[in-house]
Amino acid sequence: MNHSIKNVLIVGGGSSGWMAAAVLARFFSKQIQIQLVESSEIGTVGVGEATIPPIRTFNDVLGIKEADFLKQTMGTIKLGIQFENWSQPGDSYMHAFGEIGRNLGIAGFHHYWLKARQAGVAEDFWRYSLNEQAARHNRFAPMETIPGTQFPGLTHAYHLDAGLYAQMLRAYSEKLGVKRIDGKIQTVDKDSESGDIAAVQLESGERLEADLFIDCSGFRALLIGEALDVDFEDWSHWLPCDRALAVPSEAAETITPYTRAIAHEGGWQWRIPLQHRTGNGLVYSHRHLSDDEATHTLLSNLDTPALADPRPIRFKTGRRVQQWCQNVVSLGLSSGFLEPLESTSLHLVQQGLTRLIKLFPRNGIQPSDIEEYNRQSQIEFEKIRDFIILHYHLNSKTDSPFWRMCREAPKPESLLRRIDLFAGSGRVFREQDELFSETAWEQVMIGQGITPQDYHPLVDNLEDHQLREFMNSWQRIVDKTVAQMPSHNDFIASLK
C-alpha cells in the first residue's frame, strides 16, 4: 500500500477494541476516520479486571483522572498479587509492585538482605516493601498526602469492572468522533492482488471498507487468524492451563488492595475485589481437573456468596507469530494469550497500541515497520511467558500430578539461565525493555523457595553494625509511612 491511511476499522468492542478506539482517536481523530464494529449478540469475554501499574500511564495519556476512573469503573487499588500455596501448601508471598528497600550503588537491596538474613539480623524480605506492608494492613494513600515521607509514591495499579471500563472508553472515543456499528461480521473480503483485507461484510448486508484493520475480535481472531491464516504458536506445553470458570460474588466488607492468586489442585483461583462485587475465577488444566471438580473447587473457596453461576471460558496459551500482517494489526485475545496469573493482557494491548502509534504509517505501510512491530511484540510476549512459567516451575509439591508436571516438564532455556544465575549468586538482570523488573523476579524466585547461595561482594564493605542499622532503618521508614495511611476502604469512600 503506498497511500496514507484515511480509514481505520476496529473489529471488536471488548476491552481491546475500545482501548484501541480511544488511543487512535486521541492521536489521529483529526486525520483519520475511525469506526468500530462489534456484535452485541456475540458479546465480550467479560473478564480482565486486574491490571498492572503502567495502566496509569495509559489513563494519563487519555487525560483520565484517577478519581473519575475509580468511580466510573467501580475500581479499587492494587498494590500487588498475593500468591498462596504456590511453592508448598500454606505458603504465601506477595509480588508487590515497586521497589523493596533501597539499592546501595550497584548492589541491589536484596544482596544486603541476603547477608543480613544469614547473620540473623534481617526480617522477612517483604518487611522492607512499602507496597507489601501497606497491602498487608489494607492501607492506601496518595504519597503527597503523607507528610515527611521519603517515598516518591506507592506504585499501584487497579482492579476494575471490565464492562464499565469499556463503556467509559466508548464514551471517550465517541466524543472524539469514533463511529460505532453494532453488527455481526459474516464474511471478510480480501484484495486478490495485494492479499490485504479490503472489507468486512455484515449480516445486515452492510460492507465496511478500510485502509487499516485492527483485529480485536477476541479468541475468534476473525481477521488475523481466519482470514489471513497467521499461525498460532502454541505454548500449552509450558503453560498447561486451558480452561477457566468465572463467577462474581458479593463485595467483601474489607476491600483488600491486592489480588489473590490461590493455587489448588490442577490450577489456581483469582480473587479481585471491586467496590460493588468481588471477581473470582478458577484457571485450570482440564486434563488434571474435570469441569465438575473445578466448579466445586471454585464455589467452595469463595469468601462471599456467589451472585451467579460460574461461566466457562476455554483458551489456549500462545501467540500469533505475526501480530501485524498485511493491513491487519491484532490486539488483545486475537493476538495471543498469556494466562492471567500476572494480569498482563490489558498491558499487552496498551503496549501494542504504543508500538502501533510509534510505527504508524504516514505514506503507506512499509514491510520494515511491520517487521519491527512483530520483532518487539515477540520479545515482549516471550519475556512475560518466562515470568509466568517461573511460578509454576518452582514448586515443591509432591502429591499432585499437575504440580509435578509443572515442575518437571522442560522449560525455555532463557528461563533456566535466569534461575541458575539467581540461585548461584543472587544476580538478576532486567533485559532490554522487558516488563518485569529485577525486584519482581527477585520476589517470585525468593517467594517460590530459592535462597541464593551467595550475595554481591560490595555488601562486605559495610560493617556488621552498619548492615544491621541499614536494615532496621528501612523497616522503621516503611512502618512510619504505612502507619500514616488511611485504610483502603476509607480511601475509596473518600472518592464519592
Q: Which is nearer to ligand FAD, 48 or 266 (CB)?
A: 48
Whether 358 is a known active-site residue: answer no
Q: Which is nearer to ligand FAD, 349 or 471 (CB)?
A: 349
The reply to whether 154 sits in an annotated binding site is: no
CA–CA distance, 297 with 319 (Å, rounded to integer):
29
Q: Does 332 bind ligand FAD (CB under 6 A)?
A: yes
Fill in the amino acid letter for 18.
Answer: W
Hey, what's the cell of 310? 460460574
The reply to whether 333 sits in an annotated binding site is: yes
Q: Does 50 bind ligand FAD (CB under 6 A)?
A: yes
Stretch of residues binding ligand FAD (CB under 6 A), selected from 49-57, 356-364, 411-419, 453-461: 49-57
Residue in 114, 157, 164, 185 binding ligand FAD, rule: CB under 6 A:
185
CA–CA distance, 470 with 74 (Å, rounded to integer):
40
Q: Does 345 bind ligand FAD (CB under 6 A)?
A: yes
Stretch of residues binding ligand FAD (CB under 6 A), selected from 230-238, 338-346, 369-377, 424-432: 338-346
- The DSSP call for residue 282 is E
DSSP of 406-448: HHHS---HHHHHHHHHHHHH------TT-SS-HHHHHHHHHHT
Residue with C-alpha cell 475509580?
Answer: 70
CA–CA distance, 20 with 40 (Å, rounded to integer):
18
Q: To the nearest 10°, report the CA torsion of 206, 209, 214, 215.
A: 50
- The DSSP call for residue 186 is E
Cβ 171 to ligand FAD shortest distance, Å:
16
Stretch of residues binding ligand FAD (CB under 6 A), selected from 39-47, 363-371, 376-384, 484-492: 39-47
Pattern 6-25, ligand FAD, x by CB under 6 A? ------xxxxxx--------
φ and ψ at residue 367, rounded to 5 degrees? -55, -35
Q: Does 44 bind ligand FAD (CB under 6 A)?
A: yes
φ and ψ at residue 278, rounded to 5 degrees? -115, 135
Q: Which of 30, 65, 71, 78 is catalytic?
A: 78
Please choose, from the candidates 307, 297, 296, the residue with its C-alpha nearest in 3D space to the C-alpha of residue 252.
307
φ and ψ at residue 276, rounded to 5 degrees? -105, -10
| # of chain residues touching ligand FAD (CB under 6 A) | 37
Q: Which is nearer to ligand FAD, 58 or 125 (CB)?
A: 58
Q: Does 447 bind ligand FAD (CB under 6 A)?
A: no
Stretch of residues binding ligand FAD (CB under 6 A), selected from 343-351, 373-381, 427-435, 439-447: 343-351
- The DSSP call for residue 265 is T
Site for ligand FAD in 218-277 (CB under 6 A): 218, 220, 222, 244
Fill in the amino acid letter for 87.
Answer: S
Interacting residues with ligand FAD (CB under 6 A) = 12-17, 37-39, 42-45, 47-51, 162, 184-185, 216-218, 220, 222, 244, 281, 313, 315, 332-334, 340, 343, 345-346
Annotated binding-site residues read 78, 333, 342
Q: Which residues are catalytic?
A: 78
